[in-house]
Amino acid sequence: MRRIILLLVAVAAVAAVVVFTAPAFGNVDGEAAPIFGIKIFPGYRDWRLISVAHEEGNLNDLRAILGNDVAIKAYQAGKLPFPDGTIIARLAWNYVPSEENNKVFGRSQSFVAGPPMGVQFMVKDSRKYAATGGWGFAQFKDGKPQDESVHKTCFPCHVHVKARDFVADVGTGTRYAP
Amino acid sequence: MRRIILLLVAVAAVAAVVVFTAPAFGNVDGEAAPIFGIKIFPGYRDWRLISVAHEEGNLNDLRAILGNDVAIKAYQAGKLPFPDGTIIARLAWNYVPSEENNKVFGRSQSFVAGPPMGVQFMVKDSRKYAATGGWGFAQFKDGKPQDESVHKTCFPCHVHVKARDFVADVGTGTRYAP
């Protein structure tokens, strides 16, 4: 009887997890990114929000930084370093004016998310990625990983924010927006 | 025996819901907004992302638009009008340069979310809010609702986007960013 009850509780818990796990976005079964071997994570589009940002210049995007449950818990607790299992996703969209909104406001002031520009991930695994501060990096465009030369540039840039466990102010990883 | 099993499944399901329900942010037990009687919703900071935006001019903010489960389901299905129970939250933060990031890039191009500027809600209840297109509106600053004069301005502006069930391109409600 006790076994049956435990089994049922386990089944119900698993069912609940499945219900609450978001559907897959992007090419989840596709190619892994070079160097770090990371694929697009299922359901990342439904992860919770860490913060938002805007990059001018060549990037010219609006971005949202999302985190899996491990990441959000760590951000909300405000503790460094991030635990293994942390995954941070940076989603970027073209920075486009909202004609509709500008018409209502009577002036050009509104910018919204246009077509998607790609997604980046930072994955914490202190053993697997020991050579790069415990983080694996991946960048995808149109569901495909970018090439090795792109992935070689990730860590040398993030090394500037070693004091914050290599998590930069913008891009994959940021401060938590209250 | 069957009753016990059903009870256990129910308890496990409720426990799972509690685990997956986000903690409360903002002054949830505080004052309701005038006209529409809406209070800050518990856990809205952990709702899923609809899109992001930037307003220049007097607003000068970065914003994230989040939705409860009913809202996200409706957005992902791409169907109008939104069903009763839809809640859309617009979070805004001061638009501030990222000194840290600009230093790394060697030029001023990065903008991030600064101190919070407030939260707005749109709540769909076609009977209760029949006079305003089925939507209730609320705006909070520092956890407190803004006054009646502010809330009188909501619907007259959203009426411009009647064709999209009064959900504007920026602010509470927006298009879903893929």
Chain B residues in contact with A13 (beta carbon < 8 A)? 12, 15-16
| Residue A131 confidence class, pLDDT cut points 50, 70, 90 | very high
The CA distance from B48 to B58, in Å, is: 27
pLDDT in tens, B77-106: 988 899 999 999 999 999 998 888 778 778
Contacts of B72 in chain A (CB under 8 A): 46
A168 touches chain B (CB under 8 A): yes
pLDDT for the residue numbered A139 = 96
Q: Which residue has the higher pLDDT, B163 or B3?
A: B163
More confident residue, B91 or B174: B91
Mutation for B interface: A5, A45, A112, most B CBs within 10 A = A112
Q: What is the mean pLDDT of chain A?
A: 83
Please report the residues numbered 116 through 145 in chain A whose beta carbons come closer than 8 angstroms to any beta carbon of chain B: 116
% residues pLDDT > 90 (chain A): 56
For residue A99, what are the contacts with CB-CB under 8 A and spacing of at least 6?
A: none
Q: Worst-scoring range by mean pLDDT, A7-11, A67-71, A135-139, B111-115? A: A7-11
Q: Which chain B residue lies closest to A20 (C-alpha atoms)? A: B20
Q: Is residue A136 pLDDT above 50, yes or no?
A: yes
**Phi first, then psi: what are they for A30, rounded to 5°?**
-80, -160
Of A99-113, B52-66, B109-123, B159-173, the poorest mean pLDDT is in: B159-173
Smallest Cβ distance to B13: which of A16, A62, A116? A16
Question: Over 90: is that where the pLDDT of A34 sits?
Answer: yes
**B 9-48 residues with CB below 8 A of A?**
9, 12-13, 15-17, 20, 22, 45-46, 48
**Average pLDDT of the residues in A91-95:** 94
Residue from the list B17, B49, B115 with its beta carbon closest to the beta carbon of A64: B49
Per the prediction, chain B carries an average pLDDT of 83
pLDDT for the residue numbered A13: 47
| pLDDT over threshold 60, residue A6 | no
Q: What is the pTM of this model?
A: 0.81
In the 3-class helix/strand/coil scheme, how is B113-165 assigned residue by residue?
Answer: EEEEEEEEEEEECCCCCHHHCCEEEEEEECCEECCHHHHHCHHHHHHHHHHHC
Per-residue buried b or exposed e for B38-54, using 16+ beta carbons within 10 Å of the residue's own CB? bbbbeebbbbbbbbbbb
Interface test with B, best of A49, A90, A142 (most B CBs within 10 A): A49
Of residues A34 and A5, the one with the higher pLDDT is A34
User: Between residues A108 and A43, which one has the greater pLDDT?
Assistant: A43
Which of A93, A95, A169 shows the shortest C-beta gap to B101?
A: A169
pLDDT at site B157: 86
pLDDT band at A19 (very low <50, low <70, confident <90, very high): very low
**Percent of chain B residues past pLDDT 90, beyond the cut:** 56
